[in-house]
């Protein structure tokens, strides 16, 4: 609970520029496609900031798990460590997210003025799903 509160506070502190941009583009009620595209991008950037906070904690946990392995475990189990596997998974996930969302943008509006909105909205959604996968917050029910 304390960690969640700290994450929420860190997230709030780190977004004043995004908040100002959101106000400038009236992201509570955007009225044109340009603002909708921009606001979807801001939403993604907020999700990405939250993911970066969760990532640091998750990576720290992986590094701790690697250090906790005994020398005997390291000799008998020569597979990659927690950190290495986590980094590889995250790199693959980023590639998946961006390609999947490109495809979704094409499906919804390829070449149209709302394609950037669809792409950014997808990236925000998939990023929030990744936060949940990494244990950064509980799924809302």
Per-residue pLDDT tens over the stretch 42-99: 999 999 999 999 999 999 999 999 999 888 888 899 999 999 999 999 999 999 999 9
| Domains of the chain and any CATH numbers | 2-133 (1.20.1270.180)
Ordered DSSP codes for 48-80? HHHHHHHHHHHHHHHHHHHHHS-HHHHHH--S-
**What pTM was computed for the model?**
0.78
Higher pLDDT, 22 or 100: 100
Residue 14 has pLDDT above 80, yes or no: no
26: left (phi over 0), alpha (psi -120 to 50) or beta: left
Higher pLDDT, 52 or 23: 52
Euclidean distance between CA atoms 58 and 70, whole angstroms? 21
Residue 26 has pLDDT above 90, yes or no: no
Backbone CA torsion sign across 70, 75, 77, 83: positive
């Amino acid at each position: 609970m304390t960690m969640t509160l700290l994450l929420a506070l860190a997230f709030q502190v780190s977004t004043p520029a995004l908040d100002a941009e959101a106000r400038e583009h009236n992201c509570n009620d955007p009225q044109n496609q340009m603002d909708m595209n921009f606001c979807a991008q801001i939403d993604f950037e907020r999700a990405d900031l939250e993911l970066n906070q969760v990532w640091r904690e998750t990576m720290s946990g992986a590094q701790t798990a690697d250090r906790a392995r005994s020398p005997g475990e390291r000799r008998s189990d020569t597979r990659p460590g927690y950190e290495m596997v986590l980094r590889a998974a995250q790199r693959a996930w980023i590639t998946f997210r961006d390609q999947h969302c490109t495809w979704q943008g094409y499906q919804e509006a390829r070449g149209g003025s709302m394609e950037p909105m669809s792409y950014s909205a997808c990236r925000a959604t998939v990023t929030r799903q990744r936060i949940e996968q990494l244990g950064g917050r509980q799924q809302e029910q």
